[in-house]
Amino acid sequence: MSQLDSTLHLFYGVQVMGKLRVGVIFGGRSAEHEISLLSARNVVEALDPEKYDVILIGIDKSGRWFLTDQKNLASLTVETGKPLPAFSSTATPLSVRPGAAYSGTNGDEQSLNLPPLDVVFPVLHGQLGEDGAIQGLFRILDIPFVGPSVLGSAIGMDKDVAKRLLRDAGIGVARFVTVPHSRHRTITFQSLSEELGLPLFVKPANLGSSVGVSKVTSAAELDRALDEAFRYDTKVLVEEFVKGREIEVSVLGNEEPIASVAGEIIPSHEFYSYEAKYLDAEGARLVIPAKLDPERIKEAERLALRTFECLCCEGMARVDMFLTENGSLLINEINTIPGFTAISMYPKLWEASGIPYAKLIDRLIQLAIDRHERDSVLSVAATGC
């Protein structure tokens, strides 16, 4: 048996009748690449080997796809005071094509006969993973995939579009101004502060994990914040400061979604920054369930479901909102591939609602298959011609 054959045997073993072959895809060309790896480790550990054959596909920061293994993924550990690890591999390069889903090549560029995937679990945060791009690829390849489809993913990722749709539906959002790159040097601190007050929050329209987000109280800070946000996107949001509590609700389901109990994030930093979320173990305190009266918790759950449906989501999402000092709830954003790290709110909220991590993963995979079966009966060609 060749070294390559031994490697593939290690990856796949012998498929047991009835097992689902699940492709877990992580990494990617995104500013949230490193967080994806942390989430993917937890997802893989939760997949029951009696139910699933797990195929690990890593995408490096240049966009190259590789077949990898759990040992490689487990080696990407977080060390205090050091940068988060990135995925890199010299393992089997992969490509994707309709009809075969994906294929590999050895060092001589000879095609390898790889087994088909039954379902894909994309653990890809940020651009090209959460924005509808890779969801469109899965649609072309005709593979079931976890999470919202193309439209819901694209809307959820674009905070500008999402907020406009929510506002038009009568769902409260913080006041905001959208700044396209063409107005980068013409928008003024005075006009923004007069319209939105102070402080201001500046963020890329299409990004998550608080990457590129700045708090602004002066013209000089605004210039720096816009420069930082425009590093990641061609469209930037400037939002008013909302004084209130940060409430989050997880949503699960397709046509009849359900909401988890509401939780609260109490940051120890100035706001719930990237560092607070992932690099500082004491960056925030998670209160689950949130210390709210029962009717207010139900209101938050209903609002999360309305938001999920308004933004055309299916499968899963985490809905983040503010409870203001006057008692109103405002939607902050929706995350269609929420974090699955050991401290992430999405799985923790479901655990508090009676669905433990492993069962949650099972349910998400089944929802992906259910949607694929539902959509597969739709006609894609004209009849009677």
List pLDDT tens digits, range 88-126.
766 688 877 665 556 665 555 556 667 789 999 999 999
Q: What percent of the chain has pLDDT over 70?
A: 82
**Predicted model pTM:** 0.88
* C-alpha span between 250 and 95 (Å, rounded): 34
- The pLDDT value recorded for residue 284 is 81
Q: pLDDT class for 4, splitting at 50, 70, 90? A: very low
Section 248-259 average pLDDT? 98
Average pLDDT score, the chain: 87
Q: Which CATH topology does 3-145 take?
A: Rossmann fold (3.40.50)
- CATH superfamily label, 156-172+243-374: ATP-grasp fold, B domain (3.30.470.20)
CATH class, range 176-240: alpha beta
Q: pLDDT class for 211, splitting at 50, 70, 90? A: confident
The residue extents of the domains of the chain are 3-145, 156-172+243-374, 176-240
- The pLDDT value recorded for residue 385 is 43
Q: pLDDT class for 77, splitting at 50, 70, 90? A: low
